[in-house]
Amino acid sequence: MTGRRILILAGVLLILFLGMYSWNQRTRHLDDLATDVGLEVTGAVLKPLRAIEATLRGFWDRYFDLVDVRAENEMLRSRLEDMEARLLANTEDLAELRRLRELLRLPVDVNWRPLGARVLAGRMGPNAVLDSIVINRGYSNGGRPGTPLVTHQGLVGRVLRASAHSATVLLITDPGSRIAVFAQESRALGILAGRGTGSPLEVNFVERGSAIRKDEVLITSGLDGKFPKGIPVARVVSVAPSDYTQFLAVEAEPSVDLRHVEEALLLEPVRQGTSMVGPQLPPVPPSPADADALAVTPVAPGSSGTPTPSRPAGGR
């Protein structure tokens, strides 16, 4: 019984299928319906897949873009650091050029030859107890002991000790420094002495009646034969009568910032023949004893030879 029902059902379904097939062949409604349904199902399935694909592809592309951006940032950072280093170097070169131009404008007496020098270090070695600096010139190239060192602002000091290619310069602030100076306007004479780093300079032996005043510039007098005349050394900061001597108590500050000297000029006396030409000391009148010792006997007319000094009375 069951088998017959199945056969009947199958026959009915076959007849329906054939009928619908025939009907579809004439009208194409089932094909259109199947096509529409298939398209809708396909679109419904493919759209999420395409969206997921686009998301993954965008993420992948952004990842590689980020990798490229990171590499580009590293390159740009490296170039920026290089440019900053060059800018600093150019800034330092420009500052050095300005200092050297100032040095070139420094008026120098024809009897002194300027030689450029660079500061290598401050206090060091056995001279660390002194107010001193080390420069890159020695006795073989112009840095002989006693040679003055100056900048465009004024006097720095003079060479104390020298090796072949470097030298120690004693600064004007050292307690062992003594410089003959006079005031630029009042022309008051004095001896400038150092009192150590951080302490004002002292101007000794300024006559009480001198018209020296505060803020007046002190320049080298050249009377000591160690420095050319007219180099600025210091500026007067105080003037007062001394309680202990007959002179004025005068204090001054250096014209040069001695803590920040980088380039300077050595003033080497010019050689003429076998002698060193520098500032000349004023002639000192001889004492009576010297006059007797230097007295000469006259030379008879027609005789040859040079005058000979006469011996003082009682001499052998």
Where does the pLDDT of residue 250 fall: very low under 50, low under 70, confident under 90, or very high at 90 and above? very high
Phi, psi of 255 (to 5 degrees): -75, -25
Where does the pLDDT of residue 37 fall: very low under 50, low under 70, confident under 90, or very high at 90 and above? confident
Reported pTM: 0.55
How large is the average pLDDT for residues 28-49? 73
CATH class held by domain 112-270: mainly beta
Higher pLDDT, 289 or 205: 205
How large is the average pLDDT for residues 114-142? 83
Phi, psi of 310 (to 5 degrees): -85, 150
For 48-92, write each residue's pLDDT tens digit.
877 887 787 777 777 767 777 777 888 888 888 888 777 776 666
Q: Among residues of the chain, what percentage have pLDDT more than 90?
A: 29
Question: Which amino acid, one-letter code, is at 90?
Answer: N
Residues 210 and 218: their CA atoms lie apart, in Å, by 14
- The pLDDT mean for the chain works out to 77
Where does the pLDDT of residue 259 fall: very low under 50, low under 70, confident under 90, or very high at 90 and above? confident
Where does the pLDDT of residue 174 fall: very low under 50, low under 70, confident under 90, or very high at 90 and above? very high
Q: How many Cβ atoms from other residues are within 10 Å of residue 172's Cβ?
A: 26
Q: How many Cβ atoms from other residues are within 10 Å of residue 238's Cβ?
A: 11
Q: Where are the domains of the chain?
A: 9-105, 112-270
| C-alpha distances out from residue 9 to 2, 21, 22, 34, 187, Å | 11, 18, 20, 25, 142
